[in-house]
Amino acid sequence: MHQVASVAVSRPALQPRDLTVDDLDAVIDVRARSIGLMAPGSREEWLRGARTAVAERRLIGVFDGDRLVSAARVWDFTQWWCGRQVPMGGIGGVVVDPEYRGRGVASRLMGALLHRCQERGLMLSALFPAAVPVYRKLGYEFGGGRHRYSFLADELRRLGGGDAPLRRATPDDAALLLDLVTQVRAQGAESGPVGWPQAEVREWLGEEDTFAYVADDGFVVYRWEGSDLQVDELVAGTETTARTLWSIVGSGASIARTVHAYLAPYDPIHLMLGREAAKATEQQRWMLRLIDAPGALAARGWPPGAALDLPIEVSDAEIPANAGRWQLHVADGLGSLDADPGAGRDRLRLSSRGLAALYAGTPMATLRVAGIATGGTADADRRIDAAFGGPAAFMLDYL
């Protein structure tokens, strides 16, 4: 048996940097090896979005010398938390060349993305994890779900009771649709949904396969999915508008047997139909991380009557500015996190994952059993749950 002498070859360090348009072919190659080939015809659309991301410094890669081995994108979103919008960096398209996996490349890339979120003033970050441990190690934790329900189109057709005046929506209605969303999310004190930049909403409304109708206090955007229909978003401020918009989609029942829709688990349609949604509801879970803890706690909404004056200690290896001893104060619908270096009795201790899960409304008892919260008191836990709890956080979009 021959033994091969091992020679120590010095490799240039793996370095993250902003991508240029010249790197995009290499990104397409790593993506193909990581998540599959792009659907025929979608390359041009992907390149359009990627060029914008390059121009806005939202596309970052890791290089081995001149060779691109990993890439991902940041989106400038907002996210609703108890009815208020908080700047959020959506992370998507994390890919690592198969030859470079298992060497900390994704972790390196994510470190650069967290830093970029900080620079852009994004107070939160969210993503859909294909490999949970990669993101847990970086302080992300599950924040909520994305639920896809399926209804019989004929049930929706027969909903009736809606005669709200409607018209077709066009790309010029982007600002109007965003206003309607703002009203409904604020009124419902909703948590989780993503707020898109107006230019993206414009583009969405201009897509050839998108059908959109708008009423005074709501809208629906839907499309064909094979011979079924798929609702991308339906927002309604009143029962009449909800019935009108769902009936429009259900009027496709002569061709479409099923209507799929991304919805909150507590969406009113569940209470309006005579039949429950199909048992096989799809659920994907997304993860959340606080990038700027004081900013994120000040920007979000709080339930009426929520009151906290709580000494906490946060550990955060990746974002040291979040770490340390704080006083969390919530009163009159406003929150603040102030440095509080004192000893502080009964201080609640949270890891960055614990803080993210708490922000998303996870009960204190869950955080304790999962080992991501310690200290504090049982009495404080009840008040913490009342402040952070509320309707379950959900998302409609895949990032």
Ligand X SMILES: CC(C)(COP(=O)(O)OP(=O)(O)OC[C@H]1O[C@@H](n2cnc3c(N)ncnc32)[C@H](O)[C@@H]1OP(=O)(O)O)[C@@H](O)C(=O)NCCC(=O)NCCS
Contact call for residue 102 and ligand X (CB under 6 A): yes
Binding of ligand X by 104 (CB under 6 A): yes
Candidate residues 26, 95, 124, 337; the one interacting with ligand X per rule CB under 6 A: 95
Contact pick of 96, 123, 242, 290 for ligand X (by CB under 6 A): 96
CB of 344 to ligand X, least distance (A): 32
- Closest CB to ligand X among 70 and 247? 70
- Residue 120 contacts residue 89 (beta carbons within 8 Å): yes
User: Per CB under 6 A, does 176 bind ligand X?
Assistant: no
Residue 374 makes contact with ligand X by CB under 6 A: no
258 neighbors 155 (Cβ within 8 angstroms): no
With CB under 6 A as the contact rule, the residue among 15, 18, 20, 35 that binds ligand X is: 35
Output the smallest distance, CB 72 to ligand X, in A: 8
**Is 101 among the residues that bind ligand X (CB under 6 A)?**
yes
Work out how close the CB of 309 gets to ligand X at its nearest, in angstroms, rounded to a whole number: 37
Q: Of residues 130, 317, 331, 369, which one binds ligand X by CB under 6 A?
A: 130
Which amino acid belongs to residue 248? I
Dist. CA 82–CA 392, nearest whole Å: 10
129 sits near ligand X (criterion: CB under 6 A)? yes
219-246 in b/e burial notation, b at 16+ Cβ within 10 A? bbbbeeeeeebbbbbbbbbeebbbbbbb
CB nearer to ligand X: give 92 or 389.
Answer: 92
Nearest to 249 by CA among 273, 265, 266, 271: 273
Q: How far is the CB of 100 from ligand X (least distance, A)?
A: 6
- At its nearest, how many Å lie between ligand X and the CB of residue 115? 16
What's the min distance (Å) between Cβ of 63 and ligand X? Answer: 14
Closest approach, Cβ 12 to ligand X, in A, equals: 17
The single-letter code of the amino acid at 314 is: V
Counting contacts by CB under 6 A, is residue 94 touching ligand X?
A: yes
Cβ atoms of residues 373 and 171 within 8 Å: no
- Residue 128, by phi and psi: left (phi above 0), alpha (psi -120 to 50) or beta? beta
Task: Give the nearer residue to ligand X in terms of CB position, either 70 or 322.
Answer: 70
131 touches ligand X (CB under 6 A): yes
Radius of gyration of the CA atoms of the chain, in A: 23
Cα 56 from Cα 67, distance rounded (Å): 22
Q: Compute the distance between CA of residue 189 and CA of residue 97 in angstroms, rounded to an integer.
A: 42
Q: Are 232 and 222 in contact (CB under 8 A)?
A: yes
Our CB check for ligand X shows the closer of 314 and 399 to be 399
Q: For the chain, give me the number of helices (H) and strands (E)? A: 13, 18
Q: Site for ligand X (CB under 6 A): how many residues?
A: 18
Nearer Cβ to ligand X (356/358): 356
Given the complex with ligand X, which of 72 and 164 has the nearer CB atom?
A: 72
DSSP-derived 3-state class of residue 399: coil
Q: Give the residue among 273, 280, 309, 312 at the shortest CA–CA distance from 293.
A: 312
Measured between alpha carbons, how far is 121 from 112 in angstroms, rounded to an integer? 15
Contact call for residue 36 and ligand X (CB under 6 A): no
- Verify binding: residue 210, ligand X, rule CB under 6 A: no
Query: What is the spatial distance between Cα 305 and Cα 364, in angstroms, rounded to a whole number?
Result: 19
Query: Which of these segments, 132-140, 151-159, 161-169, 232-240, binds ligand X (CB under 6 A)?
Result: 132-140
Instruction: Give me the residues that bind ligand X (CB under 6 A), please.
Output: 34-35, 94-96, 101-107, 129-131, 133-134, 137
